[in-house]
Amino acid sequence: MTEHVLIAAEDGVLRITLARADKKNALTQAMYAALGQALARADTDASVRAVLLEAEGDAFCAGNDLGDFAAVAAGKLAREDMTAFKFLYALARVRKPIVAAVQGQAVGVGVTMLLHCDLLFVADDAKLSVPFVNLGLVPEAASSALLPARIGYSRAFAMFAFGEAVDARSAVSLGLANEVVPVSEVRAKALAAAKLLATKPTGALQAMKQLMRDGEALVALMAKESEIFTECLKSPETAEALRAFAERRPPDFSKITG
């Protein structure tokens, strides 16, 4: 387990809190493992009737830890050992409803995991971006299908290709989120919604969720995405993007041909 993911049960709600605020809640392999275990518990523990996904600090999640990406790129971390994929598969399959609260930056998997949540409350300072292409990578977590399905192909293409952030109000108008909430209230609002869900007939709620989304089809797409993603991780494009982030300079892809 890791101290960077906090798990607590409250009134039928399993609260999962990202707690690595000093690194903007960037997800390490240990954090993915803890998240995967928490989701497994949510589905097997009958006392859990809803899940809340939230984060400490001023950012929801800066995506995958870029140090881990660099380790895979350098051959120091094997794809099979990346607990990220196991977490994402669990997220696609989980039957209990998930509510999320997002404040500040949500980047990469910090956004694509939200496409698997059933209710989403965004703080007025929320900024959602999916800059996979800027990193020489491709979308993951079934977002290559889920994002266009949610907001339309053209808008999804632009979000992926340019990596520009969508603000809270746009996230609601695009159909990505339910409601904009003042930042000081967003976690309480999401918790209240999760507690309300926990009072509903849980069998009907879970059956409804399964009708609305085909978890196994999402897992199959994730497997396809992850093969291409891990190939991309070893590319010169990703190497340049990661070097640029570490050196705090803009990347230069002009000399790399496709």
| Interacting residues toward ligand COA by CB under 6 A | 23-24, 26, 59, 62-67, 105, 107-108, 131-132, 135
Q: Which residue number is nearest to ligand COA in terms of Cβ?
A: 108
Torsion angles phi and psi, residue 193, rounded to 5: -65, -40
- The length of the chain is 258
Angle, to 10 degrees, between the axis of helix 143-151 and the axis of helix 215-233? 120
Burial classification of residue 193, based on how many CB atoms lie within 10 Å of its CB (0-12 exposed, 13-18 middle, 19 or more buried): buried
155: tokens are 């808008």
**CA–CA separation, 2 vs 51, rounded Å?**
19
Q: Report the residue number, 23 or 79, with the smaller CB distance to ligand COA.
A: 23
Q: Report the residue number, 42 or 130, with the smaller CB distance to ligand COA.
A: 130
CA torsion through residues 80, 84, 87, 91, sign: negative
Minimum CB distance to ligand COA, residue 171 (Å):
16
**CA–CA separation, 151 vs 53, rounded Å?**
22
Q: Report the residue number, 66 or 219, with the smaller CB distance to ligand COA.
A: 66
82: tokens are 């990346």
Minimum CB distance to ligand COA, residue 39 (Å):
21
Judge whether 130 and 174 are in contact, CB under 8 Å: no
Minimum CB distance to ligand COA, residue 105 (Å):
4
Minimum CB distance to ligand COA, residue 22 (Å):
6
Specify the DSSP class assigned to residue 76: S
Minimum CB distance to ligand COA, residue 253 (Å):
15
Q: Report the residue number, 107 or 190, with the smaller CB distance to ligand COA.
A: 107
Determine the residue type at 130: V
Minimum CB distance to ligand COA, residue 246 (Å):
8
Determine the residue type at 92: A
Q: Report the residue number, 40 or 244, with the smaller CB distance to ligand COA.
A: 244
Residue showing tokens 């996904």: 53
Minimum CB distance to ligand COA, residue 66 (Å):
4
103: tokens are 């404040």
In the sheet that 179-181 helps form, which strands lie side by side, from edge to edge? 5-10, 13-18, 50-55, 98-102, 119-123, 179-181
Q: Report the residue number, 22 or 81, with the smaller CB distance to ligand COA.
A: 22
Q: Report the residue number, 67 or 236, with the smaller CB distance to ligand COA.
A: 67
